[in-house]
A and B are shown apart, each in its own frame.
Chain A
Amino acid sequence: MVGERGVGASSSARTADGALAPAARLLPSLAAVYRAQLSRARVARIPLLFVATFQSVGIMVLMRGVVDRGSSEAQSVVAGSAVLVVAFVALNLLAQYFGQLRAAGGLDHYATLPVPPASVVLGAAGAYASFTVPGTLVTGVVGCVMFDLPLGHLWVLAAVIPLAGAALSGLGAALGLLAPRPELATLLGQLGMSAALLLGVLPADRMPEVVRFARDLLPSTYGVEAFARTFGHHPNWPDVLLDLGVCGAVGVASLAVATWAYRRAAVR
């Protein structure tokens, strides 16, 4: 009899056969998540995007007093400040978003839909990377004007933003999904952004060996370097490509870790 225990001859379950509905495919669901996340910007993200841009412009104003116009230090300050916008949004804000979503049970919504984990992670990461485009462009242009740097190669941001964005948003998503508590996700995101600020904006030549090693470990460094190299009169394009390649490889790895972390967080 239904609902009672230990009654009835058969204890094995027999249910009517039902066809499985088709699962959502990777790209359409990625597009759906991306679009939904992008729409959130209107509600929740625009003030923070302003903050990200003002922070970077403010840092350049401060550094203007210490660094000579047109110098190689000026190149790292501008490149570092521009990539800092990416770190603020893609790493810090995305870590917070996934941390809070996980803590509040919001992942259940995605976990009960037949959607590939990669679409959720890539869709959110892609949207957060897209949020950084205006701020990074504004910072790059303002920086070039302030420090007398050529604007001619700013187009390289079209590669820097997605690749550094992939690396940093993958890292942010992984931190948010792996942190046992949302406060910890926020803290890790903030720390990551501070590291990107200090290690990216300040010229590397004067750093102690240990700090320089930490700088090499940070994925945003390669985005900064790639961008900084293009301010020269004759940029060394193979080096730029190499730096971008490192960003891309870190991006693939960190997004894979984030996808694994999502899977782990979704089913407990």
Chain B
Amino acid sequence: MSGPRTPSRTPYPVPSFLVSTRTSEAGPAQDTGTVVCAVRGLTKTYPAARGRRGAPSAPAVRATDDVRLDIRRGEIFGLLGPNGAGKSTLVRQLTGLLRPDAGTVEILGHDIVRHPDRAARLLAYLGQESTALDELTVSLAAETTGRLRGLPLKDARAERDAVIEELGLGPIAARPLKKISGGQRRLACFAAALVGERPLLVLDEPTTGMDPVARRAVWAAVDRRRAERGTTVLLVTHNVIEAETVLDRVAVVDRGRVIACDTPAGLKQQVASEVRVELVWREAAPTGLAEVDALREHAVEAGRRWSLRLAPDEARTAVATLTGGPAFDHLDDFSLATPSLEDVYLALGGSRSDVKGLVKA
């Protein structure tokens, strides 16, 4: 039986595969001021659904609520929020897949609400679904997508070969997407999104299920396009670590609204006066103890794991009380850390139950 481990000062160790390979640290946007995608007053409500037999009726949901965004040329702009926050619905309106109820979307001078068909000629979209490509081989999926993006056969094949080489997909190029792992399939779909160059890449959770090598390949490919061609990236993610490490700017989305938009560092500044306390109990939390019950009100609970945001002196007191009293025997591990974007989400009014939808891996 060992006692609690030494408190860690690092919030979360950032794995190397998440560190951007970008060469220039000059600034977030390479061409500040040039707006590639402008969104104003975007609103979308899903009407109330009548209940079927056995299923309750669902009320109307405002999936996008008066959203305003400016995405600048050459930046990696993120939409961060838990699952169900409305990120994908927002992105579907930017790509012309879904018609908003109100508001405007302008991409590179084109009105996407009025001309949704133009989106396909301005941007490449990687959605969450691969159904359309599942039975094709990796190589044919990339080639066909390139041809449907308007490339002549020769160019489509040349780009296909280049992208497969770049992303290290060579060994599985001849296998159908259906027969490879989820992470490999995601990488193959990403490859298809890159064939037939577009100035704007819209990527909806591109790295889901990927191993570190594949993630690194994705961010390297993104950075290369940005450095060489000024490609702009709109990234949807519910992964806090990914957001902190790869994004230039991030819009935090909660229940269809953008509740904040800044650089990750700028956002974290807003909660800089707070400390995050992570507690891991051996089994169940000893809720009979007064000092534990007092902390519970502030805690976001996930099984044995409690997470609290406290002022520095409160955090010190809490840790001293816990480690000096009977609660110590129930404690498996604890840590103090500087705040993350997850804390920003909570501080900005994001719901406590929804924050579990954010991932830290």
Contacts and interface: CB of A to CB of B under 8 A. Distances in A.
Interface of A: 2-5, 11-18, 20-25, 28-29, 32-33, 35-36, 39-40, 43-44, 100-101, 104-115, 119, 266-268
A14 B251 CA distance: 19
B69 interface: yes
Given A20-B122, A114-B149, A36 B38 contact: no
B96 A108 contact: no
A106 B121 contact: no
B38 A13 contact: yes
Nearest to B260: A3
16 contacts: A2-B69, A3-B262, A11-B41, A13-B39, A17-B108, A22-B150, A24-B150, A36-B144, A43-B178, A101-B131, A109-B127, A109-B132, A110-B148, A112-B127, A267-B116, A268-B97
Nearest to A106: B131
- Residue among A11, A13, A14, A44 with the most chain B CB within 10 A? A13
Contact of A18 (B68, B110, B144, B150): B110
Interface residues of B, number: 68
B243 interface: no
A91 B163 CA distance: 37
**B-side binding surface: helix, strand, loop or mixed?**
mixed
A268 B116 CA distance: 11
B233 to A, nearest CB: 15
Interface of B: 34-41, 66, 68-70, 73, 92, 95-99, 104-110, 116-125, 127-133, 135-137, 140-141, 143-145, 147-150, 152-153, 176, 178, 196, 198-199, 249, 251, 258, 260-262
Contacts of A43: 135, 176, 178
Given A13-B38, A22-B121, A108-B125, A3 B69 contact: yes
Given A15-B106, A39-B136, A105-B129, A111 B147 contact: no
Contacts of A104: 129, 131
B95 A112 contact: yes
